[in-house]
Amino acid sequence: MEHSETSQKITIADFDGAILNSFSKWGDVPDSYGNLLAALKFNGSNSFLAYGTKGFLTYDFDGRLQQLVKHSESPNQSFSRIGLGRGMEESQGQYLYVNPSPRSASNSKDRFYEEHCPLIWLDPKTGENEPIIYFPETSIFRSGKYFFSNAWDPVFTVTDNLIYVVFGLEPTIYVFEIDASHSLVSSIPLDLPDFRFFEGAENFSDDVRFFGQARTSGRIRNIKKFSKYFIVNYFPGYERMDIEEAFVNKSPYEAKVFWGRMREKYPNRIAIFDSSGTRLNDFESKGLIASSMVLRNGELWLMEEPDDEVEKDYFRLFRVGLKIED
C-alpha cells in the first residue's frame, strides 16, 4: 500500500514486480474501510483483509468488496500500525494485534501493568476481540516504576503454536502458549551488550526528560522466528552524554545538525540469535528497512531503504536468507 496524508492506494503485484491492479478504498467511497488500523493481510488466493474503523472488510484483487463484518465494539481509532512488518499475525482464522493503552497509562505504574493485556485476538468472522496475556511478573514493567507512553509497545510473531513477544524497550523474548490458557512457557533474555534502554523512573514527571526518553531509549522494533533462529531489529539507544545533549535548548539549525548526527551514530541494527538468546551476528541494516521484515511462505522479505537524493516511482522488496558460520 502507498499512503500519504491525502491518499491511500492499494497495489496488487506479482513476485516479478508486475502490477496486476491498483485502486483505493480510502475516503468517500461506498465500500471504504474508513481509516486503516493495521497493514493489509492476504486471506485467500485472490483476496485480502482490511482491518479498518468500519470493520473487517475482504476485497478481491479486482477491488470488489466480498464481505464486511462490523466491529462488535468500537476500536481505538487513535492507534494504527500500517507499515510493512509490524501488523497483525494470523493463527487459526484469528489475528493477533496490539491492544492499545489509554492515554493516562503513563501516569500509573503497578495497577496498569498488572491489569492491562498488551495483545488482542481479532476475529474477522464475528467482529469480536479478546484481550490476552498479562505482563509477566518478571518483566521490567512490573518493577513498580513509571515509563513514558507506550514504552511497552509490543512486537511479536506467531509460529510453532507459540506466541513470541517483546515488550518495547525490554530486551527479552517472552514465549506464550497459543491455546486458550496463554500460559507463559519461557523467557529468553537477548544478549545485546550495546543496548541502552530506559529502565523506568521512581516518580512520574511531566518533564521533557521523562517523555523524551521515547526518542532516545533503545527499543526492539521487530522480531521474526526463521527456522531455529530469531531475527531481531532494534534501535540501540543513546549513550548518556547524547541523552543529556538531546534535551539542551538549540536553535533550529543546531537541532537539525544534532539529530542528523544522531541518526548516523545510532542506526537501526539487525541481530541474529539462537533459540537460547545467544547472539550469533549483529550488523547495521544498510540499504534495507529492518523494521519491514515479513515472512511470506517461509521466506524472509525486507523493503529497500529509499534514496533521499533520488526520487523514484517504485520501491523494491528483497528476499533475504541467513548465513550462519560455525
Condensed to tens digits (0 to 9), the pLDDT of residues 178-235 reads: 999 999 999 999 999 999 999 999 988 888 889 999 999 999 999 999 889 999 999 9
Q: Cβ(216)–Cβ(197) under 8 Å? A: no
How far, in Å, are 151, 172, 199, 205 from residue 144 at the CA level?
A: 14, 18, 11, 15
Task: Please give the sequence-ordered ranges of beta strands (E in DSSP) within 194-297, or none if there are none.
Answer: 219-226, 229-235, 269-273, 279-284, 288-296
Name the H helices within 55-97. none
Radius of gyration of the chain (CA): 20
Look at residue 103 in the predicted model and tell me its pLDDT.
53
Residues above pLDDT 70, as percent of the chain: 94
Interval 90-142: pLDDT, tens: 999 999 999 987 654 555 555 788 889 999 999 999 999 999 999 999 999 99
Q: Looking at residue 98, what is its pLDDT?
A: 93
Give the tens place of pLDDT for each residue, 30-75. 999 998 999 999 998 899 999 999 999 999 999 999 999 999 988 8
Q: Which of 81, 75, 189 is nearest to 131 (CA)?
A: 75
Q: Is the pLDDT of residue 1 over 70?
A: no
Q: Is the pLDDT reported for residue 313 higher than 80? A: no
Q: Indicate the domain borders of the chain.
A: 1-82, 85-320
CATH entry 2.120.10 includes domain 85-320 = yes
- Examine the pLDDT at 2 and tell me if it is beyond 70: no
Band (25; pLDDT cuts 50, 70, 90): very high
Distances (CA, A) of 234 to 141, 150, 210, 281, 288: 19, 16, 21, 13, 13
User: pLDDT grade, residue 268 (50/70/90)?
Assistant: very high
Chain centroid offset of residue 191 CA: 21
Among 263, 287, 286, 285, smallest CA distance to 272 is for 285
**Maximum average pLDDT range among 22-26, 146-150, 205-209, 233-237:** 233-237
**Which of these, 198, 189, 203, lies nearest to 169 by C-alpha position?**
198
* Predicted TM-score of the model (pTM): 0.91
